[in-house]
Amino acid sequence: MRTSKKKGLGALAAVAVLALAGCGSSTPAGGGSTAGAGGFKVPDLKPLDKLGTPEGEVKVLAWPGYVEDGSNDPKVDWVSDFEKSTGCNVTVKTFGTSDEAVQLMRTGEYDTVSASGDATLRLIAAGDVEPVNTSLITNYPDIFDSLKNQPWNSVNGVSYGIPHGRGANLLMYRTDLVKPAPDSWGAVFDKAGAQAGKVTAYDSPIYIADAALYLMSTKPELGIKDPYALDDKQLAAAVDLLKAQKANVSEYWSDYLKEVQAFKNGTSTVGTTWQVIANVAQAEKAPVEAILPKEGATGWSDTWMVSAKSKHKTCAYKFIDHIVSPKVNAQIAEYFGEAPANRKACAETADPNHCKTYHAEDEAYFAKVHYWNTPISACLDGRTNVKCTDYAAWTKAWTEIRNS
């Protein structure tokens, strides 16, 4: 009896050790690394030097609406042809927030990801993604130069991804229930009381930037220049605004179908959205409209990145090349409601004015759109006399808002 008891304890201890070794993910061990612009370390990883034979599959992590394979709508499918021509079977997993994308990418299960600017640097710094060899992407020369080698998709001149497209986060409202039609983010902040209990907001720390953007124009004395570069005082002001907003919020969304449903049945009447959500809701006969408010907006400029742990890199490169090819990039841009990254896509859209409507080549327009970015302690707006709040502080602040 004694011995068996001892054995049992031994087994338990062994399991505990295994569990300790296996759980969580840890910082990449040792190895060379170089400092990035924001002062963070970048692991030395090499890009792929040439394509091999396709591995037969590719696992894709994407924003909803980016990679449609016909399962949502049989007519919307830009994956099947790719599978036939390359032999790479595509499996798609969608995510609702950048935080979710980072966490899923870290499992090493996925070969490529469509990452926004608030995810890219975290993935680069943690060694989850590797640099890309842009010469292997045949469509790369056709991509707008203004999207290439930007602070959110490159470090020290090394490119970490292929631009996908860009757009703004919009203000959506029920045309029958919100009158007069709003033209300002004030509809979800200072004047949210008019729709008390019917306001919706995006459920991620990055939404703090939306409040900061609103404060940029309504409280100039705070001196916010960039909604992702907030010092302690500015962050506190944004948090206060969001706490006040919470009293009028019905629910927070990160699942886009949940937002569609909430607007359809009227539990939400006004709030932040993506164009694709407005499109889906309108297709389902919900009386909604989405506008770009006068204060400008936060937005995104997304990047396709390749996992450092990928075992299907050739398929991943071929998939990215396919996604940014003129025809497909045009289809995605129209379906999602965004500006394409490939300039030749503008000639392929079903609506000949699509690129004009979404300001694909209008840099002055996008100057008003503040792309999602990762806040770091070195102020992104160039201030050197103060320390800015980093994403950890934003996360803490967001939890505090949600739990207040």
Partner 1 sequence: MRRRLGLAALLTPPMLWLVVAYLGALVAIFATAFWTTDPFTNLVVRTFTLDNFRELRTPTYLGIIGRTILIAALVTVLCVVVAVPFAFFMARVAPARSRSLLLALVLVPLWASYLVKAYAWRAMLQPSGVLESVFGTTPGYGFAAVVITLSYLWLPYMILPVYAAFERLPESHLEASADLGGRPWTTFRRVVVPALWPAIAAGSVFTFSLSLGDYIAVSIVGGKLQVLGTAVLQNITLDLPFAAALGTSSVVVMVLYLLAVRRAGALENL
Cα(319)–Cα(59) distance, integer angstroms: 10
CA 144 → CA 65, 315, 340, 383, distances in Å? Answer: 22, 24, 9, 29
The CB-of-101 to partner 1 minimum distance in angstroms stands at: 9
The CB-of-152 to partner 1 minimum distance in angstroms stands at: 14
Cβ atoms of 68 and 77 closer than 8 Å? yes
The CB-of-109 to partner 1 minimum distance in angstroms stands at: 15
- Of the pair 203, 295, the CB lying nearest partner 1 is at 203
The CB-of-359 to partner 1 minimum distance in angstroms stands at: 32
Tokens of 13: 């201890």
Strands 199-202 and 270-273: parallel
Contacts of 88 (CB under 8 A, 6+ apart): 54, 55, 56, 57, 58, 82, 312, 315, 318, 319
The CB-of-35 to partner 1 minimum distance in angstroms stands at: 13
The site for partner 1 (CB under 8 A) is made up of 11-12, 15-16, 18-20, 22-27, 40, 97, 99-100, 102-103, 106, 121-122, 125-126, 197, 203, 205, 246, 249-252, 261, 265-267, 374, 376, 390-393, 395, 399-400, 402-404
The CB-of-2 to partner 1 minimum distance in angstroms stands at: 17
| Dihedral pair phi/psi, residue 185, rounded to 5° | -65, -10
Determine the length of the chain: 404
- Of the pair 353, 403, the CB lying nearest partner 1 is at 403
Strand, coil or helix: 276: helix
Contacts of 191 (CB under 8 A, 6+ apart): 182
Strand, coil or helix: 59: strand
Strand, coil or helix: 166: strand
The answer to whether the Cα torsion of 146, 150, 153, 157 is positive or negative is: positive
Cα(165)–Cα(131) distance, integer angstroms: 19
User: CA end-to-end span of the chain, whole Å?
Assistant: 54
β-partners of residue 301 are 166
E strand map for 84-213: 89-94, 112-115, 129-130, 154-155, 158-159, 162-168, 170-174, 199-202
- Of the pair 252, 365, the CB lying nearest partner 1 is at 252
The CB-of-398 to partner 1 minimum distance in angstroms stands at: 8
The CB-of-10 to partner 1 minimum distance in angstroms stands at: 11
Cis before 180 (ω within 30): yes
The CB-of-330 to partner 1 minimum distance in angstroms stands at: 33
Amino acid residing at 57: E
- Of the pair 130, 203, the CB lying nearest partner 1 is at 203
- Burial of residue 285 (CB within 10 Å: 0-12, 13-18, 19+) is exposed
- Of the pair 283, 392, the CB lying nearest partner 1 is at 392
The CB-of-203 to partner 1 minimum distance in angstroms stands at: 8
The CB-of-267 to partner 1 minimum distance in angstroms stands at: 5
- Of the pair 242, 332, the CB lying nearest partner 1 is at 242
- Of the pair 264, 343, the CB lying nearest partner 1 is at 264
- Of the pair 274, 391, the CB lying nearest partner 1 is at 391
